[in-house]
Amino acid sequence: MEVEIITRDTIKPSSPTPPHLKTYNLSYFDQTMSPILYPIILYYTKPETSTSTTTSSSTCLKRSLSKCLTKFYPLAGRIKDDVSVDCNDSGVDYLEAKVTNCTLLDVITNPNIPSLKQLLPCELHIHDLESPLLLVQVNRFQCGGIAIGVCISHKVADASALGMFVNGWSCTARGDCETVAPHFELSTLFPWRDDTNDIEKESQATEGDYDHEKDNKIVTKRFVFNATDIARLRDKARNVESPTRIEVVSAFIWKRFVDSNRSKTRPTSKPYSVLHAMNLRKRRAPPLAEHGFGNMSVLVIESLETEDDDDEYCSLVGKIRSAIRGVDGEFVKKLESGDEWYLKHVKAVLIEQGNGGRERICFSSWCWLFYDADFGWGRPVWVSPPSSFRNVVILMDTRDGEGIEAWVSLLDEDIVEFESDPDTLCTSICS
């Protein structure tokens, strides 16, 4: 696949941001996030409408993005003093590119994961806080297919907020502006705190592993769990009533991660942790607005201290369920009250992992977020997060909505052990 950038533009809001909205304060959760850009790519077959020419679709995308930015006005600004966004309407980067030597069908049928990065508007590295908070690249295949790559700063948005923006942009492109109504209340509920600087530093030091990413020592592989695979995993989870597909897939990957580490020379007594990013918007009592923009996620943590459990997979499913269900209204209420227990717990785990005393793997579910993004050409035929950081797993819907694609990122030496599973289930889902 060869990708050539044709044009570079800066898209600004179609209307200036009002004076009383010029400063957008970052929240407590924004503060704890690493300053990275993270991506999504949406793939569409050749538009069949009467306005499907390259020129008209390009004009539509630019105009609708400009209109959408009036609603998502912080994205057109710049981080100021690491505590707020100066909503100065500086705009977002917008690139258009042409793709040769392959068709859209080639990409979605047999994806070459490293090459997918070419469809993104930037490298995935530590974000310069003076740079745009949102970058877009529209890639056009010779067959007429389109891939839209979007990168957003984690300092202002989590995966749910990214999905909120992408769906808001697509609604605007279809002329349905009234449904786009983001809310910016998180900094009021969870204001900036001076005592979170330490966890921010630990998060940056342990989660990103940016040097490895640049040296290509981190390998991302996609594992596809279809409906049959998930049914088999549910049957194995005998101790949990009606386990969800997120629970069983996460437990399966966690067990493979632990087993592959134990097969090395590493001590079997080393503790292993699973971190699951949880969206708090609907777990608050009362729930927050559905379109609450920003970072509203926490890491729930469960540990595995020994390997004495004869039925370890079932135990892991139960642990994950317990951790997820523990994030309820009372959990969120403690966070709103300023209780420091969450910060201390996460900081302790990050420090222990950074010192080599704990192995951990982090999951983030992006299911149900992106497949409704219809820009007027129909829903995407595929959605992909092309890469991630060390020991991070992104869970996505399959195209039919029944299965899960797990995008697993490990060091190259670890991915070899991870894939060498004697269980026939693992070999049947690896791609």
- CA 87/CA 92 separation, integer angstroms: 12
Check if the beta carbon of residue 156 is closer than 8 Å to that of residue 26: yes
Tens of pLDDT, residue by residue over 145-160, are: 999 999 999 999 999 9
Active site includes 154? yes
CATH of range 2-189; options 3.40.50.1820, 3.90.550.10, 3.30.559.10, 3.30.470.20: 3.30.559.10
Q: For residue 408, what are the CA distances in angstroms to 14, 59, 74, 116, 221?
A: 39, 36, 31, 15, 5
What DSSP line would sit under 64-75, residue for residue? Answer: HHHHHHHHSGGG
Mind listing the pLDDT tens digit for each residue in 272-295?
A: 888 899 998 888 888 777 788 999
Residue type, 220: T
Active site residue 209: no
Q: Which of 127, 154, 276, 291 is catalytic?
A: 154
How far apart, in Å, are the Cα atoms of 414 and each of 246, 256, 262, 282, 424? 23, 11, 11, 36, 19
Weakest mean pLDDT among 111-115, 190-194, 199-203, 282-286: 199-203
Which is the catalytic residue, given 89, 106, 259, 374? 374
Q: What is the DSSP letter of 244?
A: -
Q: Write the pLDDT tens digit of every residue in 243-262.
A: 999 999 999 999 888 888 77
Contact 160, 106 (CB under 8 A): no
Q: Helices 329-336 and 341-354, interaxial angle, to 10°?
A: 90
**Domains in the chain: boundaries:** 2-189, 194-429
- Which architecture, in CATH terms, is 194-429? 2-Layer Sandwich (3.30)
Q: Rounded CA gap, 249 and 229, in Å? A: 9
Q: What is the pLDDT of residues 204-216, one digit of tens each?
A: 444 444 444 445 5
Residue 73: Cβ within 10 Å count: 23
Which region, left, alpha or beta, applies to residue 81 given φ > 0 means left and ψ of -120 to 50 means alpha? Answer: left
Identical topology for domains 2-189 and 194-429: yes
Q: At 192, which amino acid appears? A: W
